[in-house]
A and B are shown apart, each in its own frame.
Chain A
Amino acid sequence: MNKTKNKKLFMVVAVVLMVALVAAMGTITYSRYIVSSDLDPQQATAAKWGLALSANTSNFLSSDYSGTGLATPQAAGTGVAVKAANITVAPGTTGSMTITVSGTAEVRAQLSLSIAGGYTEISATTGGTTYKPVKWTLTKQVGSAEAQTLVNASEDLSDIADAMTSESAVIAANTACDTVYTLSWAWALETGADAAAIAANNKHDTAIGMYAKEANLTNVNTATGNTYTDIKPSFSFTLSATIQQIQ
């Protein structure tokens, strides 16, 4: 047997195996198992709003009337504010405005109507009695149904304010709205149960007219023969309507 050859042979085998060992240890292990799993895409739409408030004041006043401010809608969409400031009108005139709530929302909403803050009414006070010539009426019509009178010819704007507040309500989700509120005013040419009352009221109307022209109570009293302690020749108010989502 060739001992040198055998020795060499075994040395070669050992070296080969050591190289294989090092190579095996140095082999990079890579991840084989891979899996992906996706949830089916889930879709949703934003809930429709769709509710709108609008105000129409084109018939509230005439250009013939004087005043430092005219009633105009301040905003549209989800809220309107109708501001009437220092409106001076005359006997025998009338006017109206409408506030419309329309549309359908897929969310619950709150309708709020109010005559915010303070307001003034046309009036003349004498002998402890206050004469208010302007009469206010508020009606409500839902869809094509007959209009319902909420306030009928009241001399007190406070009745309108109370009725407005009462109309504030929750609108349930997915409820179709088509409601029109009509606020109208009227100053009759002559008012009174009898001739004497009519004559007295006419004198008050005259006093208001004089005071509107010249704010001088003394002169008014002298001219009319009445003792007026207070005269307000114009009316003013701010009507606010809003509609917003609630939870």
Chain B
Amino acid sequence: MSEPAQNGFNKQENGKAANERRHWVYIMLLVVIVFILLLMTLGILALRVENYLPEGTDIVFVVGKSPSVEFGDEKGSWKSGLDVDIFKSYYENDQQVVTVLSKEGDSLIAPGTQMQYYFIAYNKGNIAVTYETDIDFLFESAGQVKNDFAFPLKVRLKTDSGKYLIGGESEWVDISTAKVTKHVSVLGASSYEGFTLELIWAFEGGDDALDTMLGNMSASGGAKITLGIETYAEEHFEPTAQGGIVVEAEDGKPVEHGGTIRYFWLMLLFICIAILVFFIAWLLNKRLRKW
């Protein structure tokens, strides 16, 4: 083969090789893009799939969720049969003189009596929750429920931080109004909130005739009230949401919220992937040079 022909052949061969190299560069770029997309998809799917896995399960760099909320008072968590003493069988005035005394030893309520109950919502888990505190109230006369009866009981509900969920510093709310309104708050991970429920049947409530009627009703056929507190907690859409008073961990470390990403481990993973990709690219490049 002549020199010019040889040179021509060599140029053709070099052009082919250059095309091949470009081809493999495109492939390497596609491989890198695919790896990045795969990583992102896996990460986001991990967050979604985590909802279906047992609590506390970590998925690679996603912190597992461990939800746990309890309501209770100084006697312990609320459970059936727990005696909480909101209403008493006797009441005294400021001079320790008995002003109300039950004949049968049962719980009473009367004009001039004021009751108070303290309870706690404790979020021991690692995700924030949204919780609802509702008051339930029922009045029965002679064994019959009277839904429309305006019983002269007023209520307020405040938190340890001084925020009133029902009523205010100088405002009491009728029990009939309080029981139909929703009271929603947020409780952060590893946090608690204390509540003080206050009830009052005002001595000078402005309707002595109603007070007397209820007293006489009780003496003849019975006049009974039933009070309940219902709570409902669900996972907050933002696991790191704040609310309540934070409980410091014994080791002093801040709580690692469930559902959040461990960015350090994620970065480490990215670096490993990048190293792997470049290693593959280097191998391919070496192969290209052989061609």
Contacts and interface: CB of A to CB of B under 8 A. Distances in A.
B218 A49 contact: yes
Interface string A15-27: 0011011001101
A57 to B, nearest CB: 24
Contact of A38 (B23, B125, B228): B228
Given A13-B34, A29-B237, A106-B110, A6 B27 contact: yes
B82 interface: yes
Interface string B87-123: 1001001000111111100111111110000010000
Contacts of A38: 78, 228-231
Main SS class of interface, A: mixed
A247 interface: yes
A16 B87 CA distance: 65
Contact of B219 (A14, A50, A108): A50
Interface in B32-91: 33-34, 37-38, 40-41, 44-45, 47-48, 51, 65, 67, 69-71, 77-82, 84, 86-87, 90
B219 to A, nearest CB: 4
From A40, A77, A172, residue with most partner B Cβ within 10 Å: A40
Interface in A13-59: 13-14, 17-18, 20-21, 24-25, 27, 29-50
A6 B233 CA distance: 53
B107 A44 contact: yes
Given A13-B34, A247-B203, A44 B87 contact: yes
A246 B26 CA distance: 94
A213 interface: no
Nearest to A9: B30
Contacts of B218: 45-49
B33 A42 contact: no
Contact of B108 (A37, A42, A45): A45
Contact of B33 (A14, A25, A45, A48): A14
Main SS class of interface, B: mixed
Nearest to B130: A31
B217 interface: yes
Contacts of A104: 103
B198 interface: no
Contacts of A247: 93, 99, 112, 203
Sort chain B's interface into a size bin: 35 or more
Given A21-B37, A39-B78, A47 B110 contact: yes
Contact of B34 (A14, A29, A34): A14
Contacts of A42: 84, 86-87, 107, 226-228
B127 A33 contact: yes
A174 B44 contact: no
Interface in A48-100: 48-50, 77-78
A108 B226 CA distance: 24
A132 to B, nearest CB: 40
A234 B48 CA distance: 98
Sort chain A's interface into a size bin: 35 or more
Interface string B194-230: 0000000001000000011011111100111111111
A107 interface: yes
B31 interface: yes
Given A7-B26, A37-B71, A108-B98, A46 B37 contact: no
A32 B112 CA distance: 46
Contact of A14 (B37, B79, B80, B225): B37
A173 interface: yes
B100 A107 contact: yes
Contact of A41 (B44, B79, B228): B228
A27 B52 CA distance: 14
B41 A20 contact: yes
Minimum-distance CB pairs A-B, first 8: A49-B215, A47-B110, A44-B87, A33-B67, A173-B101, A31-B235, A46-B223, A48-B219
Given A46-B217, A49-B212, A106-B103, 15 more contacts: A7-B26, A10-B31, A13-B34, A24-B45, A32-B51, A33-B234, A39-B78, A41-B226, A44-B86, A44-B108, A45-B108, A46-B214, A106-B108, A107-B101, A174-B103
Interface of B: 23, 26-27, 30-31, 33-34, 37-38, 40-41, 44-45, 47-48, 51, 65, 67, 69-71, 77-82, 84, 86-87, 90, 93, 97-103, 106-113, 119, 125, 127, 129, 136, 138, 203, 211-212, 214-219, 222-237
